[in-house]
């Protein structure tokens, strides 16, 4: 085999691994449908208290974004090439200190029970003879033995990492972790589901070293984030689902050779798949480079129809912007809108964003109202434990 042939095979293997990592996240069932009447009533209350009020629900249009019943996804587009991430200049101001003081002054909330177990009302566990939530049964296609084994493993995972009490514990490195992995809750989509945006190409390993952080710390931050999502932000009933936006902006093939990057991706996907099944509403993979788009078409026939319907592969351009607006509505961050002029790529070690000090300054994106409230929640716990949030180095 020639040298070019070896390189070609290596690229295919590495790219295939990335496709597998991203698709595992979407291989989850919808939330259980038991107790429909009670769940529907609770859902009405949840919609009323949502930050997103009065929006026109374009349900039929959003359904299109899940893909057709067969054939190619109508939104797998051949638009413009991916664009680079927008930088944020570090002007030397100690944002963390001033912002934390402002939020802490407004953080006097009455204490509440912040211990959450693996099961919830209306999750099907009460009716199940083995106490298994419906999401775990659906994950294993109603194979009781496999579902029981998976749920027992989940309980062990919660015990090992202290998940039941993670929200009551101080998280002084909250800002550090947010700076290293710029994932955020943008708001709610047109169907009132939580929108979670991830930018895998923006993981900053230089900043990780500068702040003496580790993969394990970042994974624990994700645990904290997911527990906040499903117990504070979206407690149910019914059990909520999430619209995920995976922004491939800045993704380069050479990044697939970074063992730290691949290692983090594998651990993250494994954690999410094994411990938070049934939480996916749809997954939008945006700014997809050509090589990813082509590989997905190869893997697509191997996926279940229900999985294919949840995934849309989009390329930067007007069609992608239209699809995002239809699905996300007012929760569409401006940074996800395709730009005519490509901004300069963020340099390693530079901050992706700085948190805002007032809720009036919130907007969809890294500084959404949801993110502001989560940071405020974190600071509440730090104040209760006589600790302060650490600054990013």
What is the band of 290 on the pLDDT scale with cuts at 50, 70, 90? confident
Percent of the chain with pLDDT over 90: 51
For range 226-246, the mean pLDDT: 93
CATH fold label, 3-384: Phosphatidylinositol Transfer Protein Sec14p (3.40.525)
Q: Which of 54-68, 140-154, 230-244, 294-308 has the highest mean pLDDT?
A: 140-154
Q: Is the peptide bond before 237 cis (omega within 30 degrees of 0)?
A: yes
Q: Which two tokens stand for residue 40?
A: 């529907």
The confidence score (pLDDT) of residue 295 equals 76
Assess whether pLDDT exceeds 80 at residue 109: no
Question: Taking each helix axis from N to C terminus, what angle separates 95-105 and 369-384, rounded to the nearest 10 degrees?
Answer: 80
The confidence score (pLDDT) of residue 319 equals 94
For range 172-191, the mean pLDDT: 95
Q: What DSSP letter does each residue of 146-211 carry, written as one string?
A: HHHHHHHHHHHHHHHHTGGGGGGS--TTHHHHHHHS--EEEEE-TTS-EEEEE-GGG--HHHHHHT
> Domain ranges in the chain?
3-384
Question: Taking each helix axis from N to C terminus, what angle separates 3-24 and 290-299, rounded to the nearest 10 degrees?
Answer: 70
Which H or E run includes 385? none
Average pLDDT, the chain: 77
Q: Measured between alpha carbons, how far is 380 from 361 in angstroms, rounded to an integer? A: 20
For residue 19, the tally of other CB atoms under 10 A from its CB is 17
Q: Which two tokens stand for residue 42?
A: 């609770």
- Mean pLDDT lowest among 88-102, 112-126, 255-269: 88-102
Assess whether pLDDT exceeds 70 at residue 224: yes
For range 53-79, the mean pLDDT: 39
Between these two residues, 117 and 295, which has the higher pLDDT value?
A: 117
The confidence score (pLDDT) of residue 12 equals 52
The confidence score (pLDDT) of residue 68 equals 37
| Residue 20, CB-side half-sphere exposure with 13 Å CA sphere | 11
Assess whether pLDDT exceeds 70 at residue 374: yes
The confidence score (pLDDT) of residue 22 equals 54
The confidence score (pLDDT) of residue 70 equals 36
Cβ proximity of 29 and 138 under 8 Å: yes
For range 141-162, the mean pLDDT: 97
The confidence score (pLDDT) of residue 257 equals 77
Q: Measured between alpha carbons, how far is 199 from 193 in angstroms, rounded to an integer? A: 19
Q: Measured between alpha carbons, how far is 184 from 225 in angstroms, rounded to an integer? A: 9
Assess whether pLDDT exceeds 90 at residue 279: yes
- The label of the residue with tokens 């900053």 reads 204
Query: Terminal CA-to-CA distance of the chain, rounded, Å?
Result: 48
For range 351-375, the mean pLDDT: 92
What is the band of 265 on the pLDDT scale with cuts at 50, 70, 90? confident
Exposure string of 125-156, with b = 16+ CB inside 10 Å and e = fewer, is beebeeebbbbbbbbbeeeeeebbebbeebbe
The confidence score (pLDDT) of residue 26 equals 52
Beta strands 194-198; 184-188: pairing state: antiparallel
Q: Which of 148-162, 196-210, 353-367 has the highest mean pLDDT?
A: 148-162
């Amino acid at each position: 085999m020639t040298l070019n042939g070896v390189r070609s095979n290596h690229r295919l293997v590495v790219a295939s691994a990335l496709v597998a990592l991203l698709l595992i996240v979407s291989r989850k069932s919808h939330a259980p449908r038991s107790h429909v009447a009670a769940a529907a009533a609770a859902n009405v209350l949840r919609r009323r208290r949502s930050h997103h009020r009065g929006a026109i629900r374009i349900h039929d249009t959003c359904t299109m974004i899940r893909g057709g019943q067969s054939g190619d996804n109508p939104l797998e587009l051949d638009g413009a090439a991916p664009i680079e991430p927008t930088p944020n200049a570090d002007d030397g101001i100690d944002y963390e200190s001033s912002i934390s003081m402002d939020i802490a002054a407004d953080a006097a909330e009455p204490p509440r029970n912040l211990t959450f177990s693996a099961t919830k009302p209306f999750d099907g566990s009460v009716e199940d003879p083995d106490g298994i939530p419906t999401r775990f049964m659906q994950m294993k296609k109603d194979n009781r033995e496999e579902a029981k084994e998976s749920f027992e493993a989940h309980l062990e995972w919660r015990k090992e990492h202290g998940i039941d009490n993670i929200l009551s514990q101080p998280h002084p490195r909250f800002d550090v972790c947010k700076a290293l992995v710029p994932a955020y809750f943008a708001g709610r989509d047109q169907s009132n589901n939580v929108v979670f945006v991830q930018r895998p190409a923006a993981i900053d390993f230089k900043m990780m070293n500068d702040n003496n952080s580790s993969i394990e710390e970042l994974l624990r931050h994700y645990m904290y984030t997911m527990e906040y999502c499903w117990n504070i932000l979206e407690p149910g009933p019914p059990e909520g689902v999430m619209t995920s936006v995976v922004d491939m902006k800045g993704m380069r093939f050479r990044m697939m050779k970074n063992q730290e990057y691949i290692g983090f991706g594998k651990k993250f996907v494994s954690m999410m798949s094994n411990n938070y099944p049934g939480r996916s509403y749809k997954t939008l993979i945006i700014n997809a480079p050509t090589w990813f788009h082509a590989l997905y078409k190869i893997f697509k026939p191997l996926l279940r129809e229900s999985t294919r319907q949840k995934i849309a592969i989009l390329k930067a351009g007007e069609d992608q912007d239209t699809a995002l607006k239809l699905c996300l509505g007012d929760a569409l961050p401006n940074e996800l809108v395709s730009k005519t002029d490509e901004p300069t790529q963020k340099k390693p070690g530079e901050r992706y964003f700085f948190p805002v000090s007032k809720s009036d300054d919130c907007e969809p994106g890294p500084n959404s109202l949801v993110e502001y409230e989560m940071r405020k929640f974190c600071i509440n716990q730090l104040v209760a434990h006589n600790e302060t949030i650490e600054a990013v180095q």
